[in-house]
Amino acid sequence: MNILKEIINNYFNLTSTIITLVTIGLITIITIISYGLERRITDKSPIYIRLPIHLTEGAILAGSMIILQQTFHVLNNSSVNNGWLYANAQLTILLYSMYLLRNKITLLINLLMPFAYHQSNNLQRLTNVKLPYFIVSYIFLVAIVIYIYWQTDRLQDSTIKYLALQILYGIAWWILLWVDHSFSFSNIFYMLIVFVIYMAIIRFCEHKMQLTLAGYDTLKKAVNYDELTGIRNRSNLDKSSKEIYDKYSHENRVPLTMAMFDIDHFKLFNDKYGHATGDEVLRHVAHTMERELYLRKTHGEIFRFGGEEFIIIFRDKTAEECSPIIVDLRNALYSAPLFLNGKKLNVSVSFGVSELKSSDTGFTDLFNRVDNYLYKSKNAGRNKMTVEDVIYDFDENK
């Protein structure tokens, strides 16, 4: 009973509660900011894009350490009493960041932290009889941190491995702290228990945050992406159009081209084979065009405008530069017919293409001109493209 009372008095009090809440708050901030930053990059992103983001994440982690330190000093009137609170909170954020951020800056911070948290102790350790314990524990910590860095995905799917690595990480760190600040091994045991509780709370909160963010992603996708084809929808185009016009209307030297196309005789697919087949044709066209835009590195953005009509925005390209790209897109679609229920369905498209002009007073002017060109292609017999009021037959441009 005395031991239990001591644990409750020392480890579950108002100061501990405040530190815990501050830790949860910092982790929430780290999660939200890093979530937004990591979405901007992939493993294939160039180093000059990834490095600033990773440095920013490292700065956020370092800033969290400083905030915890200042919070602890305020709560304890600059005393070092109950320093385990501060240490456990920092260990929690360090370990959590390893699972969340997964970059070399976070790895480096974890590896250097034993020498950075109390720099005055670095020289004292050289004459400390416990130096061998420090060396062995540090090597052990390095091995654990590197293992977590490389095996993050597998560990998050296994509660047992997650807990085991968490305990080993805590043991390594608390032995390092024991070298600098002698305390009983019973205290290490109590501190490890509190550390495990901290991480359990954090993992629960992190799980809830991930569900919330995933729900936000789902909602965002539903609002901005076409449910049938998976590409961006008219609502997304409406949101982007103002930004596109404001940027390119003031950049006379930087061109912007819009292409609108629709599927020739699409109504026949629905009437002859049914609406399910019509849906498959829409998906086929959208996916083929999106894939070809990506593979050809055109940086074109494709939207489903409505029905069988689609729009492609080509940034930094003139209408003349886009013409051969559009021919290639059409030919790729035409050379890859849709096979459905034993039937071969050849799909052709008609295009209208125009470049943003200095005389355009808004995005609507560009849209109306492109729409007019599209109808010229259709009225000329379809399977054609009209570029700046000049009609071209795709079959003559293979």
Q: How far apart are CA 2 and CA 8, in angstroms?
A: 10
pTM higher than 0.75 for the full model?
A: no
Name the one residue in this structure whose structure tokens are 């929808």: 233
Residue spans of the domains in the chain: they are 2-224, 234-396
- pLDDT given at position 101: 77
Distance CA 166, CA 163 (A): 5
DSSP run (H or E) holding 309:
strand 309-315
pLDDT tens, residue order, the chain (398 aa): 555 555 555 556 677 777 778 887 888 888 778 777 776 676 666 777 788 888 888 888 888 888 888 887 777 765 545 567 778 888 888 888 887 777 888 889 889 888 887 666 677 777 788 888 889 999 999 999 998 888 876 766 677 887 888 888 888 998 888 888 777 777 778 778 878 877 777 777 666 666 666 555 555 555 678 888 988 888 888 888 888 888 888 777 789 999 999 999 999 898 888 889 999 999 999 999 999 998 888 889 999 998 899 999 999 899 999 999 999 999 999 888 888 888 889 899 999 999 999 889 889 999 999 999 999 999 999 999 999 999 999 876 54
Q: At what angle do helices 363-379 and 234-248 cross, to 10 degrees?
A: 120
Residue 138, both tokens: 């540090």
CB count within 10 Å of CB 314 equals: 23
Query: Could you give the CA distance from residue 86 to residue 84 in angstroms, rounded to a whole number?
Result: 5
What backbone torsions phi and psi does residue 280 show, to the nearest 5 degrees?
Answer: -65, -35
Phi, psi of 249, rounded to the nearest 5 degrees = -70, -20
For residues 348 and 330, give the distance between their C-alpha atoms in angstroms, rounded to a whole number.
7
Give residue 181's pLDDT: 77
Dihedral sign for Cα atoms in the order 233, 382, 369, 270 = negative
Q: Retrieve residue 8's tokens.
A: 């409750």
| DSSP single-letter state for residue 45 | S
**CA 366 centroid distance within chain:** 33
Q: What is the 3-state secondary structure (H, E, C) of 157-216?
A: CCHHHHHHHHHHHHHHHHHHHHHHCCCCHHHHHHHHHHHHHHHHHHHHHHHHHHHHHHHH
CATH superfamily of 234-396: Reverse transcriptase/Diguanylate cyclase domain (3.30.70.270)
Place of tokens 């070399």: 104
Q: Which of 217, 240, 232 is nearest to 36 (CA)?
A: 217
Q: Is the Cβ–Cβ distance between 286 and 310 less than 8 Å? A: yes
